[in-house]
Amino acid sequence: MNELKILLKKDLLLTFGMLINLKARMRDKKLRRRTLGGLLGFVVIILYIVLFINVFLQMTPYLFARGAGGFLLELGFGAFSFMMILIALSTILSQCYFSHDIHILLRLPINQRNILLSKLLAAYAGALPMGLLLALPFIIQYGRYSGQGVLFYVNAVLSLLGSGLITVGVLAIIIIPLMGLFNRLPRFKNLFQMIGLVLFLAVFMSIQLMSKNFGMNMSDHPRDVAPGLNLSILWLFPQVKLLKSLLTTSGDFLGLGGALLILVVGGLLLFLCIRLLSGNFIRGVLAGSHVARRKKAGKWVAAKKSGIAGMIARKDIRDIFKTPIYLFNLSTLGIIFTIVILFSLFQDGMAEKLSMVGLYLTSLSSWLLILIGLHIGLLLALFFTGLGQTALTSVTREGKNIWLMQTLPIRAEDQVRGRLQAAWFFQLINILPVSALFIYMSFRAWQMIIGYLIGVLISMLMTSTSALLLGTLFPKLFWTTPSQAIKQNLLAFLHSLIIMVMSGALVALPFIIIKKRYIYGTNLLTEILSLLKVFPLLTAAIFLLIAIGCYFGSIAAWKKKIGKYQI
């Protein structure tokens, strides 16, 4: 038992290290910036959660007036289940299969079952606070309006604790055998994580499809959303119906017995996982290390003919593919946006509106169509290629291996060009779905397509070079796992914030200028077209100047900073 306590303390420290060692981290100059960035991100998440909860809590009088107060419990249990799956899944994968501490523990005289139990309990403890934060406000609101006693809240909390244990146990039963299989196959471990993220996206898209089938429109008032959302929750999380009935149809003491039974079942399931899967778990972890050694032995056998910059670009791309969560974030923004727009295209009357727009575009001059396309290309590429810039973390992802770049005779120009090539590769992946949609909706106006492609190219150059300059000047080289280099990076958050502000400015500035210049009684459309003859060209010139300055600035920064990077 003492051994398990020590292991659990270590794993909880990994999970809650930022909060447990907050004072010590704030004194350390290297960790202070990362800690502040993490706390800022946590505050933003909490604000979003509060807004989400507040919107639906306002529905309480409406729901109880119609005898549908149980929907609050469904919302609470559904949000709890979703958060437990999301956080526990990522924690199990990262701490068990994408970390190296287990290899160290296996060399010590430690019971293998205790290693697995500690990891699962840490994943449970890491997901539980956020799940309770989402669920308890709905449960408390339901209890207040329905006049429930103290025992109701005790039953609810015990049910949540047991449901969380069952969730972690089921995840372990699914993940451990699959990772044991995938770890034995080269490159399949990262692919499995990527598949999981794609399935996660599919769940969100399925909610959208189900919402349409159930007659729910997310732009409606929350009380109009409730019926469709109710069916979606019960379809995705069948256990919600059991938990709800346990609290609403059973008496207090019978509900207490049911809640304790769920808690016992969760504990038994976790016990069976430890007894039956610990050996499979250890073999799967060790198989991953053997595969990694075989891959390293076979690398760089043949000489490359594409130059130093091309080799650096391929290395950068491989590093990103080794971090599937980062790859998922980079490559799905454009896809999600395109799918959302495609959904709206099938709405009633949309085809007629688009045909009217196409008819009007045919009446404009070729030069004006090019400028309109240029402005749209600058705006879309700025947003979709600026967020999650790979060039920003290119130097950071070197980590402790930065000494290789300090010692190898590689020119600064090749370093910068190689990292920019990798950034352009992922930028193209993100912007291609959006570009295909724009070309489809441009009604074959080739002039507008030419302007759009020029705008995309200029924005890509500006966002990638500016990100590389910032990443070269302020790298974060101290990290233990690749995901830490990206997730807990304050500079990446600030750069994304700047990109969003610039994107908003490109949308808002033309309206502000027109509002100031517009004289009542004049033709508003004429004012807009006259502004489009100047504004896109001015924006493109500014972006080009920034791109050129940042490119040469990156080369100069690399030459100046490369010898000063320290771990």
- Spatial separation of the C-alpha atoms in residues 152 and 149, rounded to whole Å: 6
Backbone conformation region of residue 521, classed left if phi is above 0, alpha if psi is from -120 to 50, else beta: left
- Spatial separation of the C-alpha atoms in residues 180 and 280, rounded to whole Å: 7
* Residues of the chain scoring pLDDT < 70: 1, 17-22, 24-25, 28-31, 33-34, 37-38, 98, 182-236, 250-252, 287-306, 323-332, 340, 342-363, 388, 443-444, 479-489, 517-529, 563-567
Q: Looking at residue 553, what is its pLDDT?
A: 92
Q: Could you tell me where the DSSP H helices lie in 478-564?
A: 484-487, 490-517, 524-532, 535-561
Cβ(183)–Cβ(93) under 8 Å?
no
- Spatial separation of the C-alpha atoms in residues 66 and 515, rounded to whole Å: 47
| Alpha-carbon distances, residue 124 vs 85, 339, 468 (angstroms) | 10, 34, 38
- Spatial separation of the C-alpha atoms in residues 77 and 237, rounded to whole Å: 9
Q: Which DSSP symbol is given to 447? A: H
Q: Looking at residue 97, what is its pLDDT?
A: 73
Angle between helices 2-20 and 29-57 (to 10 degrees): 90
Q: Looking at residue 286, what is its pLDDT?
A: 75
| Alpha-carbon distances, residue 38 vs 33, 219, 325 (angstroms) | 9, 32, 17
* Token pair listed for 401: 């291996």
- Spatial separation of the C-alpha atoms in residues 386 and 496, rounded to whole Å: 7
- Spatial separation of the C-alpha atoms in residues 485 and 477, rounded to whole Å: 8
Beta-carbon contacts of residue 324 (< 8 Å; ≥ 6 apart): 190, 191, 193, 194, 197
Q: Looking at residue 221, what is its pLDDT?
A: 44
pTM over 0.75: no
- Cα dihedral 469, 470, 472, 473 sign: positive
- Spatial separation of the C-alpha atoms in residues 488 and 200, rounded to whole Å: 22
Q: Looking at residue 517, what is its pLDDT?
A: 66
Looking up tokens 């993940």 gives: 175
